[in-house]
Amino acid sequence: MYKHFLKSGAILILVGFSQLISAQTKIEIVSIENSPTISKHIYGHFAEHLGRCIYEGFYVGENSVIPNSEGVRIDIIEALKELQIPNLRWPGGCFADTYHWMDGIGDLEKRPTIVNTWWGGVTEDNSFGTHNFLNLCKELGAEPYLSGNVGSGGVQELADWVQYTNFKGKSPMSDLRRENGKEEPWGVKYWGIGNEAWGCGGNMRPEYYADIYKKYVTFMSDADVEGGIYKIASGASNDDYNWTEVLMKNIPKNMLQGVALHHYSVIDWGAKGPDVNFDEETYFKTMKESWLMEELIVKHTAIMDKYDEEKKVDLIVDEWGGWYEVSEGTNPGFLYQQNTMRDAMIAGMNLNIFNNHADRVKMANLAQAVNVLQAVILTDKEKMILTPTYHVMNMYKVHQDATLIPLSFDSPMYSFDNESLPALTVSASKDSSQKVHISFTNIDTKKSNTVVIDLNEFKLKNINSTILSSISLQDHNSFENPNKITPKNFKDFKFAKGVLELTIPPFSVIVVEGDMM
């Protein structure tokens, strides 16, 4: 069986092998004393100049017949407001290290074009730029997270962008901002110093990148941002633990607030499998890759702990999600894929993992927000649909800035072809309004799993629950049937004498809520 033990954000995993499947899974609450806060920024998003994410996704232009605000679709704005997205990362991704921000400001007619060499080789007109993005974030109530160009851009270019967005006084860049119609600065706090420096960001060695990082941040002014700007180093891909080791060892902690980590649930980079018509073998392999996030966080944070016992440097999982072959008939460079119940499983599982590691994981960014990879929103001209992933994130938003409730349990196993994975992930929290929330994801394709949890410690009343489920793993929302999969009230539970008993159907996500007396 799989032993899951969570205490104050730390996780110990013991894995054994057994063919016995228990009828019930008992979940126990571990002491909540000194538990970390689940940062709202774990529920962040990512918008890259890739395919139809920005152009024909977020941005349709002010002259579009589609209702818009400064060129950004109003229906997308409203949908993301409903999600209460805490931050949005832009402009990349690989695109970030080819993007020169000054090409995207000023008179539209005078802006140079750019060829997106990373994604489809299309020519962009730079009509969506810094002002559009930062004004969008302000309208959403989300913190902007800007990815700086370190691969092909210079130190002065990044320093000027910081000054342009943040400086209140008189300077060349703040004067330029005012000329372009923005009197007051936006106050951008979160900055990525390049992206995937080990790959598309420059194919650098970690030692070289550590030196480059220190050079760039030296010239990034902390002025006019409360607490200073928050600088995020381009971190490891998957299990490149040496990358994290070198960065933590060589970069002074006063120059470093976060280290990134990228991990996608992709079964084979050469044969990713279909986005909709997948079989159970492909699904199982995808879940196996998704579960790897747990191991990666444990091992990367162990290295961070070695150099930073006080946990002053955060782990930032700023790219995660499912990655498959593109939808049939679409541009292979645009990474457009449908979003099925498989994606709901990835979302529920990973958000539970992030919540349970809230002592180190302080931000995460689902890739990506609109029309790319595991998107929460898909568009087709004037039409827009919300995906199963959107609904999971909407259900889970109750955990934002709540106190983690550590849990301990033995998960039943999901088995396929002589391999097994833990079927259940669970996370729980208590918020400032004295509500307790518990989120469950069951990835098993066939078996319901019943859980029992004693909640007497919280003296709960008014228990209710919501479920996201469907008949088939391959089910998805389409432009013809946009509401095929939506959250529904769930009543298959018992709550008596402070004890909750809940049966979780196959491949479903459930969130339970209760009020403390």
Task: Judge: domain 40-97+119-149+185-402, CATH 3.20.20.80.
Answer: yes
The dotted CATH code for 2-37+404-516 is 2.60.40.1180
Distance between CA atoms of 91 and 372, rounded to whole angstroms? Answer: 14
Average pLDDT over residues 222-227: 85
Q: What is the largest CA-CA distance in the chain?
A: 71
* Strand-strand pairing, 413-416 and 383-386: unpaired
SS3 call for 428: strand
Average pLDDT over residues 372-393: 98
Cα angle 359-355-206, degrees, rounded to a multiple of 5: 60
Model confidence pLDDT, tens digit, residues 400-416:
999 999 999 999 999 99
Domain residue extents for the chain: 2-37+404-516, 40-97+119-149+185-402
Distance between CA atoms of 276 and 475, rounded to whole angstroms? Answer: 8
Q: Name the pLDDT band for 4 (thresholds 50, 70, 90).
A: very low
As given in the structure block, the two tokens for residue 138 are: 């302000």
CA 325 to chain centre: 20
Exposed/middle/buried for residue 447 (C-beta within 10 Å: 0-12, 13-18, 19+): middle
Give the closest residue to 304 by CA, choosing from 353, 363, 243: 243
Exposed/middle/buried for residue 327 (C-beta within 10 Å: 0-12, 13-18, 19+): middle
Distance between CA atoms of 427 and 166, rounded to whole angstroms? Answer: 37
Residue 17 has pLDDT above 90, yes or no: no
* DSSP symbols for 363-403: EEEEE-SBSSSS-SEEEETTEEEE-HHHHHHHHHGGGTTPE
At residue 6, the pLDDT reads: 44
Model confidence pLDDT, tens digit, residues 162-184:
999 999 999 999 999 999 999 99
At residue 119, the pLDDT reads: 95
Residue 489 has pLDDT above 90, yes or no: yes
Which residues neighbour 461 within 8 Å (Cβ) at sequence distance 6 or greater?
514, 515, 517
CA 145 to chain centre: 12
At residue 428, the pLDDT reads: 98
Q: Name the pLDDT band for 219 (thresholds 50, 70, 90).
A: very high
At residue 29, the pLDDT reads: 95
Q: By the 8 A CB rule, do 165 and 186 touch? A: yes
If you search the block for the tokens 């300077």, which residue do you land on?
171
User: In percent, how much of the chain has pLDDT > 90?
Assistant: 93
CA 496 to chain centre: 36
Residue 8 has pLDDT above 80, yes or no: no
Residue 133 has pLDDT above 50, yes or no: yes
Q: Name the pLDDT band for 226 (thresholds 50, 70, 90).
A: confident
Distance between CA atoms of 425 and 256, rounded to whole angstroms? Answer: 31
Which residues neighbour 139 within 8 Å (Cβ) at sequence distance 6 or greater?
69, 72, 77
Q: By the 8 A CB rule, do 68 and 448 touch? A: no
Q: Name the pLDDT band for 63 (thresholds 50, 70, 90).
A: very high
User: In percent, how much of the chain has pLDDT > 70?
Assistant: 96
In this structure, which amino acid lies at residue 79? Answer: A
* Count of CA atoms in the C-beta half-sphere (13 A) of 101: 30
Q: By the 8 A CB rule, do 447 and 420 touch? A: no
Average pLDDT, whole number, for the chain? Answer: 94
Residue 274 has pLDDT above 50, yes or no: yes
Bridge partners of 365, per DSSP, are 44
Give the closest residue to 304 by CA, choosing from 344, 258, 245, 361: 245
Average pLDDT over residues 303-322: 97
Better pLDDT: 306 or 6 = 306
As given in the structure block, the two tokens for residue 32 are: 């909540």
Residue 201 has pLDDT above 90, yes or no: yes
Model confidence pLDDT, tens digit, residues 492-506:
999 999 999 999 999
> What pTM did the predictor assign?
0.94
Number of alpha helices (DSSP H) and beta strands (DSSP E) in the chain: 9, 29
Average pLDDT over residues 292-297: 98
Tally of CB atoms within 10 A around 75:
16
**Annotated catalytic, 319?**
yes
Q: By the 8 A CB rule, do 431 and 30 touch? A: no
Bridge partners of 14, per DSSP, are 3
Give the closest residue to 397 by CA, choosing from 357, 372, 346, 431: 431
* Count of CA atoms in the C-beta half-sphere (13 A) of 179: 11
Q: By the 8 A CB rule, do 58 and 128 touch? A: yes
Model confidence pLDDT, tens digit, residues 141-156:
999 999 999 999 999 9
Distance between CA atoms of 268 and 87, rounded to whole angstroms? Answer: 30
**Annotated catalytic, 157?**
no
At residue 23, the pLDDT reads: 61
Q: Among the options 124, 143, 196, 294, which is catalytic?
A: 196
Give the closest residue to 469 by CA, choosing from 341, 336, 367, 295: 341
Better pLDDT: 24 or 102 = 102
Q: Among the options 319, 382, 480, 501, which is catalytic?
A: 319
Residue 348 has pLDDT above 60, yes or no: yes
Average pLDDT over residues 337-356: 98
Residue 3 has pLDDT above 80, yes or no: no
At residue 16, the pLDDT reads: 34
Residue 10 has pLDDT above 70, yes or no: no
Q: Name the pLDDT band for 224 (thresholds 50, 70, 90).
A: confident
If you search the block for the tokens 């001209």, which residue do you land on?
381
SS3 call for 83: helix
